Structure 1
Amino acid sequence: MTEISAELLLHAYSQGIFPMAEQADAEEIYWVDPQMRGIFPLDRFHVPAKLAKKIRKSPFEIRIDTAFPQVIRACAETIPGSERENTWINDHIICLYEDLFAMGYCHSVECWQQGTLVGGLYGVSIGGAFCGESMFHRVSDASKVALVYLVARLRYGGYSLLDTQFITPHLARFGAIEIPRQEYRKRLNEALNRAGDFYSLPLEVSPDTILQLVSQMS
């Protein structure tokens, strides 16, 4: 089996392929190329009114890329008896994405409260495509708020594709849809020819501006 490096992983993403492990202690990593792919159309993202109201109250301090290792490890945590009873993130995957982070291709959006990391997400950024990998929360709605801030950042930064890999009822509530593999690759190729800027949105931007950037509420 070919040893997976950060460079090989980056190439795989450019072809629409991503890695997973069966579980945390699995040694093997396998490649995934779904027939149907989950994405968020960035111009049709939905923010439920209740969540928008919470965002306006600024319950979290939003940080970018300040605790990537903590975020990916929190995403890999399992909770017995819950939907997070298992994880596809093993130690090798963690190391690979930390390498991509060091190379500037991975990012984290983090929610903090009183100096404690309470939620967030991470993903891979290539050109104008952002491939969302995983999210977590330790306080209610923290991961949802991180997602809204991510979408605002991507829209402001000129991205055209937010890949969610698979669809869940939770993601569908925010406007995620499924598209065939061929259509995904077409959108991916278009996005790779763009120059998305993940850092162009200032950190000090107001919650109202974030919601205006996301634009659609229901």
Structure 2
Amino acid sequence: MISLHKLDASLAFPTPSEALTDPNGLLAFGGDLSVPRLVNSYRQGIFPWFSEGEPILWWSPDPRGVLFTGKYKSSKSLLKHIRKTTPKVTVDTSFNEVIDACSSIPRKDNGTWITAEMVDAYKRLYQAGYAHSIEVWDKERLIGGLYGVFVNNVFCGESMFSRQDNASKVAFHCLVELLKKNGVRLIDCQMQNPHLATLGCEEIPRKTFLDLLASEQEHLPLQFWTPQVLLA
């Protein structure tokens, strides 16, 4: 019988190597979504993922889906779309609107993994300076965006949304360009999927990912997350 770690009031996590193989990466349950616990989890390559009515579940899958910013593949059609439509793209100007939009995207089972508890937690992470968003606008209307967590000089992508064709792709493209400009080498995509693979996402062993995460932690934090306009 396999037993799963239950978190207590401390911020300690079991080591990711103790995660289950089925389901892939399930490491622990319980605890809370406080800012200190979330920051501690991301710094160890662990993230929360659960549905409404479930306990908080913590994951560290093996292999890990990552995108090295230097290997990002931007399509010619997307670059043409950006030149043609000239969208306005901003950073950290409407985080709450972005995560609210992401949380409203229905799944095939008519649910959403971004619960109200998660929304509140990541809004607190944003206020604490760890969570960030990219916003895409059509005039004054928010048409797409993404959000994630930035720790150890690694951007951990969480979710994105589109209200117009290509809007989330524009957000991701601008994210990569912002990260590359500021020397960030790695985006944690958590799990690879066919769409991310077309952008350059690849799977690497969990240990390799954790080693990269630790090596990036040795660098000084990069201070470029300020509300700003990337494209206009």
Bin for the TM-score computed over the shorter chain: 0.7 to 0.9
Q: Does 1:30 align with 2:57?
A: yes
Displacement of 1:27 in angstroms is 4.8
**Which of 1, 7, 13 is the matching residue for 2:42?**
13
**Which of 106, 117, 120 is the matching residue for 2:131?**
106
Greater C-alpha radius of gyration: 2
Q: Does 1:77 align with 2:104?
A: yes
The code of the aligned residue for 2:32 comes to: E
TM-score (norm 2): 0.81
Q: In angstroms, what is the RMSD of aligned CA positions?
A: 2.0
The change in CA–CA distance for 1:2 and 1:124 in structure 2 (over 3 A counts) is same
Structure 1 partner of 2:225 = 199
The change in CA–CA distance for 1:84 and 1:120 in structure 2 (over 3 A counts) is farther
Q: Distance in 2 between matches of 1:122 and 1:158?
A: 19
Structure 2 partner of 1:216 = none
Asked which structure has the greater RCO (Cα within 8 Å, sep 6+), the reply is 1
The answer to whether the 8 Å contact 2:90/2:230 transfers is no
Q: Distance in 1 between matches of 2:100 and 2:201?
A: 25
Q: Distance in 2 between matches of 1:15 and 1:124?
A: 13
The answer to whether the 8 Å contact 2:174/2:230 transfers is no
Q: Does 1:42 align with 2:66?
A: no
Structure 1 partner of 2:111 = 86
Q: Distance in 1 between matches of 2:199 and 2:230?
A: 24
Secondary structure class of the residue paired with 1:173: helix
The answer to whether the 8 Å contact 2:143/2:167 transfers is yes
Which stretch shows the higher mean deviation, 144-153 or 83-92? 83-92
Structure 2 partner of 1:214 = none
Structure 2 partner of 1:55 = 82
Q: Distance in 2 between matches of 1:204 and 1:90?
A: 30
Displacement of 1:91 in angstroms is 1.1
Identical aligned residues as a percent:
37
Q: Distance in 2 between matches of 1:19 and 1:141?
A: 28
Secondary structure class of the residue paired with 2:70: coil
Structure 1 partner of 2:10 = none
Structure 1 partner of 2:163 = 138
Displacement of 1:50 in angstroms is 0.5
- Say how many residue pairs are matched: 202
Q: Distance in 1 between matches of 2:170 and 2:135?
A: 9
Q: Distance in 1 between matches of 2:224 and 2:91?
A: 10
TM-score (norm 1): 0.86
Secondary structure class of the residue paired with 1:189: helix
The code of the aligned residue for 2:77 comes to: K
The answer to whether the 8 Å contact 1:157/1:199 transfers is no
The change in CA–CA distance for 1:172 and 1:192 in structure 2 (over 3 A counts) is same
Displacement of 1:158 in angstroms is 1.8
Displacement of 1:51 in angstroms is 0.6
